[in-house]
């Protein structure tokens, strides 16, 4: 039983590390997608599932939301770091981009910070949606996500569009059990997942006009199509592709503990901190950075190294007071130093 529980925990930590790696890698790849078709295909494929899968896992681990103090804990864990990093990113962009003035918009998330805001709203929405039967709840959530695209006012402000569009993934994750995930670990599921991935890559390759921003969930239909009625059907297709991509991904996630499993517990650190490196890469000296096969390998290695670094205990020790509003790691370090000095 202990071994089984250990494997189950490793399974989700493995998934979280792989997904956060893909988040960072996808942001690096974005620099090249306009010029290189192969990078664009890989980029779009990654975006069909990496954030939806991350959101689904977040929903899976939100099952204790009904406990006393849970929402207060979520506000402390999500909203306070959001406000802090919103300020830090604004200052960072001011100096990096040589802006004329410092602009701070608390309710308009900077780049990747939308996830913190949306995650808090998704937990709030569980107060209503968790009381419905799972299938009805998911249908209503999908319907809201589809209809949201018709309203131009629903966009990046308060991360409202992503909150509504991505909520079905969070809700499905909330209703899933560990046994549901393990159904995907059969040989048959892996074969089906492999076939789907190949077909999806072919579909992306033969549709060069496919707008990758459909998978971001951040804009109304008017930004993509002239006939808004088409938007609903396209987003419905996007939902289908993303859910199938998520299932295919989880069929390949290893269950046993691996060398990177331990880093899967610190994905929030990677998510919040990697943006500084990505923005510097995009806006700095990378303008002369040319893509070739060796560049791809280099980006892969850099991404892995950066993900590991930001997942490390060293980074967590010094950044924990900001992200988790706790100083347990620093206190442990100081206590060890004090003990050594006493000897």
Cβ of 44: how many Cβ atoms within 10 Å? 23
What pLDDT is recorded for position 288? 60
Contact 81, 272 (CB under 8 A): yes
Q: Give the Å distances, CA to CA, from 326 to 70, 269, 294, 332.
A: 17, 14, 42, 12
Instruction: Give the tokens for residue 86.
Output: 């919103």
Residue 306 has pLDDT above 90, yes or no: yes
Backbone angles phi, psi at 163, to 5 degrees: -60, -45
Instruction: Give the tokens for residue 212.
Output: 């990758």
Contact 29, 42 (CB under 8 A): yes
What pLDDT is recorded for position 71? 84
Confidence of residue 154 (pLDDT cuts 50, 70, 90): very high
What pLDDT is recorded for position 5? 40
Q: How far apart are CA 147 and CA 129, in angstroms?
A: 17
Among the residue ranges 162-171, 255-264, 275-284, 325-334, the one predicted with the least confidence is 325-334
Residue 334 has pLDDT above 80, yes or no: no
Residue 112 has pLDDT above 60, yes or no: yes
Q: What is the pLDDT of residues 113-149, one digit of tens each?
A: 999 999 999 999 999 999 999 999 999 999 999 999 9
Residue 3 has pLDDT above 80, yes or no: no
Q: What is the pLDDT of residues 17-45, one digit of tens each?
A: 999 999 999 999 988 888 888 899 999 99
Residue with tokens 């007071």: 321
Q: What is the pLDDT of residues 71-98, one digit of tens each?
A: 888 888 899 999 999 999 888 877 877 7
Percent of the chain with pLDDT over 90: 67
Q: What is the pLDDT of residues 252-261, one digit of tens each?
A: 999 999 999 9
Which residue, 210, 212, 230, 207, is CA-closest to 149? 230
Cβ of 251: how many Cβ atoms within 10 Å? 22
Which residue, 309, 296, 263, 323, is CA-closest to 15? 263
What pLDDT is recorded for position 320? 87
What pLDDT is recorded for position 31? 84
Residue by residue, DSSP assigns 287-336 as: GG----HHHHHHHHHHHHHHHHHHHSHHHHHHHHHHHTS--HHHHHHHHH
CB environment 174-190: b (16+ within 10 A), e (fewer)? bbbeeeebeebeeeebe
What pLDDT is recorded for position 218? 95
Q: What is the pLDDT of residues 158-213, one digit of tens each?
A: 999 999 999 999 999 999 999 999 999 999 999 999 999 999 999 999 999 899 99
Which residue, 6, 95, 51, is CA-closest to 276? 95
Confidence of residue 327 (pLDDT cuts 50, 70, 90): low
CB environment 1-12: b (16+ within 10 A), e (fewer)? eeeeeeeebbbb
């Amino acid at each position: 039983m202990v071994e089984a529980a250990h494997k189950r925990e490793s399974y989700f930590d493995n998934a979280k590390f792989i997904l956060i790696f893909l988040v960072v890698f996808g942001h690096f790849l974005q620099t090249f997608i306009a010029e290189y078709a192969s990078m664009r295909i890989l980029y779009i494929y990654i975006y069909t599932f990496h954030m939806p899968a991350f959101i689904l896992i977040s929903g899976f681990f939100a099952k204790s939301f009904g406990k006393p103090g849970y929402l207060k804990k979520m506000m402390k864990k999500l909203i306070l770091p959001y406000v802090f990093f919103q300020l830090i990113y604004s200052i960072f962009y001011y100096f990096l981009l040589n802006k004329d003035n410092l602009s701070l918009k608390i309710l308009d998330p900077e780049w990747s910070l939308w996830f913190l805001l949306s995650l808090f709203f998704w937990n709030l929405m569980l107060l209503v949606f968790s009381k419905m039967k799972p299938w009805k709840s998911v249908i209503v959530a999908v319907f809201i996500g589809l209809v949201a695209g018709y309203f131009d006012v629903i966009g990046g402000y308060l991360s409202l569009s992503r909150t509504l569009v991505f909520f079905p993934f969070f809700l499905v994750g909330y209703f899933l059990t560990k046994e549901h995930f393990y159904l995907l670990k059969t040989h048959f599921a892996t074969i089906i997942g492999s076939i789907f991935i190949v077909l999806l890559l072919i579909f992306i390759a033969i549709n060069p006009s496919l707008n990758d921003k459909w998978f971001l969930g951040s804009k109304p239909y008017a930004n993509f199509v002239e006939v808004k009625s088409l938007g609903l059907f396209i987003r419905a297709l996007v939902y289908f592709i993303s859910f199938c991509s998520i299932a295919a991904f989880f069929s390949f996630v290893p269950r046993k503990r691996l060398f990177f499993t331990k880093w899967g517990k610190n994905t929030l650190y990677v998510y919040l901190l990697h943006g500084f490196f990505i923005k510097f890469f995009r806006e700095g000296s990378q303008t002369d950075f040319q893509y070739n096969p060796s560049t791809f390998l280099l980006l892969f290695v850099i991404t892995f190294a950066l993900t590991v670094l930001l997942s490390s205990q060293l980074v967590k020790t010094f950044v924990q007071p900001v992200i988790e509003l706790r100083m347990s790691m620093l206190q442990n370090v100081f206590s060890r130093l004090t003990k050594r000095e006493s000897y």
